Amino acid sequence: MKYLVTGAAGFIGAATCQRLLDSEHEVVGLDNLNSYYLPRLKQYRLDKLQNQSNFREARIDLADRAAMQALFAKEKFQRVIHLGAQAGVRYSIEAPFDYVDSNLVGTMSILEGCRHHDVEHLVYASSSSVYGMNPKIPFSESDAVDHPVSLYAATKKSNELMAHSYSNLYNIATTGLRFFTVYGPAGRPDMAPWLFTEAILNNKPIKVFNQGKMQRDFTYIDDIVEGIVRIQDVIPKANAQDPLNNPATSTAPYRLYNIGNNNPIELATFIDAIEQACGKKAEKILLPMQAGDVQRTYADIDALVSATGHQPSVDIYQGIEKFVAWYKAFHK
């Protein structure tokens, strides 16, 4: 099949492209290679993909309407996996318009492309951050998510609403995936696994927010990619009988799923896993909660398991060991 994968030089996008290439699909990988973090890491991920004959790069900004229209018209994609976005909760406080351009305008380009070019299924990245202030755990797709605590979260929730309107208006099959703190080899430099590993290996202190009283449902990259690939084949259908009292379903061909490990990890356990993998103890600076952060994430994944049979399961100690081994090799 012919796929468009956006965010192809990104952490999840590059791993997803590789998985599709391994299954002999044709993949066009779109990215603008922006400098939000280490361009060298984005290029490293892309270099691996570019060696393969069934991969082509499209260096385009999602917000460039004309270029996006031309790409869809030329390529006639069967399926689209939209992972390109301005990610990061904290940076959305510093650079809000980057989120509007990439996440809102960019997603609009994708929806319009799918509308005019008969795309069979659009799978797009949402985020656990949409659960915002919700006190009820585990977080379920059937919960209302109306209290985001960052602009990043607000753009991801907006993407779900935009997708719903297009599923309804134009009968486009869309599936939103709410990812829960993804980590693993070639992961992001702005996230805790990288920041802590970097500090510990260089004998620098680590910043521990909310005095360490945090929990995250860390999900290993292979588990995320498995979920993305399997959900591709679960194409939502319009069904007038589907209940409208559940925000995750609709009479339109629209679905939402959590992808998380369903096993929140205490920050102390996470730090212990990194210390073990690095073979060194961390020096900790305890700090208050940061604006935009949430104290805990915890995914209810019953819907994902029942739709795909896939249950994310990689243990944090094993996953962190693989990440730290990759990190050391990358920096050699």
Ligand X SMILES: NC(=O)c1ccc[n+]([C@@H]2O[C@H](COP(=O)([O-])OP(=O)(O)OC[C@H]3O[C@@H](n4cnc5c(N)ncnc54)[C@H](O)[C@@H]3O)[C@@H](O)[C@H]2O)c1
Task: Confirm if 191 and 216 have CB atoms less than 8 A apart.
Answer: no
Least distance in angstroms from the C-beta of 237 to ligand X: 25
Tokens 């020096």: give the residue: 283
- By CB under 6 A, name the one of 3, 27, 29, 31 that touches ligand X: 31
Residues 94-153 that bind ligand X (CB under 6 A): 102, 106, 125, 127
Q: How is residue 322 written in tokens?
A: 């693989």
Exposure string for 181-200, b = 16+ CB within 10 A, e = fewer? bbbbbbbbeebbbbbbbebb
Contact indicator for 200, 208 with CB cutoff of 8 Å:
no
- Distances in Å between the alpha carbon of 52 and those of 26, 48, 187, 206, 244? 10, 8, 21, 39, 44
Report if residue 249 touches ligand X, rule: CB under 6 A.
Answer: no
Q: State how far the alpha carbon of 321 is from the alpha carbons of 134, 179, 211, 277, 325, in Å.
A: 32, 21, 25, 5, 6
Q: Which is nearer to ligand X, 182 or 208 (CB)?
A: 182
- Min dist CB 97 to ligand X, Å, is 11
Q: Does 80 bind ligand X (CB under 6 A)?
A: no
- Residue 35 tokens, joined: 């400098």
Should residue 259 be labelled a site residue for ligand X when binding is judged by CB under 6 A?
no
Q: What is the DSSP string of 142-182?
A: TS-----SSHHHHHHHHHHHHHHHHHHHH---EEEEEE--E
DSSP state of 296: B
Task: Kindly tell me which of 3 and 11 has the beta carbon lying closer to ligand X.
Answer: 11
The residue range among 2-10, 110-118, 233-241, 251-259 that interacts with ligand X, by the rule CB under 6 A, is 2-10
- Considering only residues 165 to 204 of the shown chain, the ones binding ligand X according to CB under 6 A are 179, 181-182, 188
Establish if 61 lies at the interface with ligand X (CB under 6 A).
Answer: yes
C-beta of 176 vs 253, nearer to ligand X:
176
* Residues designated as active site: 152
Backbone angles phi, psi at 265, to 5 degrees: -110, 130
The count of chain residues that interact with ligand X, using the rule CB under 6 A, is 27
10 binds ligand X, rule: CB under 6 A: yes
Min CB(18)–ligand X separation in Å: 13
Task: Give 97 or 241: the residue with its C-beta nearer to ligand X.
Answer: 97
With binding defined as CB under 6 A, does residue 62 bind ligand X? yes
Comparing CB distances to ligand X, the nearer of 88 and 253 is: 88
Q: 316-330 vs 192-201: helix axis angle to the nearest 10? A: 60
Which residues have C-beta within 8 Å of that of residue 270, sequence separation ≥ 6?
192, 196, 216, 218, 316, 320
Q: Which is nearer to ligand X, 238 or 247 (CB)?
A: 247
User: Would you say 4 or 324 has its CB closer to ligand X?
Assistant: 4
In this chain, which residue has its C-beta nearest to ligand X? 10
Query: Nearest approach, Cβ of 121 to ligand X (angstroms)?
Result: 17
Instruction: Give the DSSP H/E element, type plus range, for residue 231.
Output: helix 221-232
| 86: contact with ligand X by CB under 6 A | yes
CA distance 234 to 66: 31
User: In a 3-state reduction of DSSP, which class is residue 103?
Assistant: helix
Q: Which stretch binds ligand X (CB under 6 A): 11-19, 20-28, 66-74, 168-176?
A: 11-19
* Shortest distance (Å) from residue 35 CB to ligand X: 9
Q: In the complex, which residues of this chain contact ligand X (CB under 6 A)?
A: 7, 9-13, 31-34, 42, 61-63, 83-87, 102, 106, 125, 127, 179, 181-182, 188
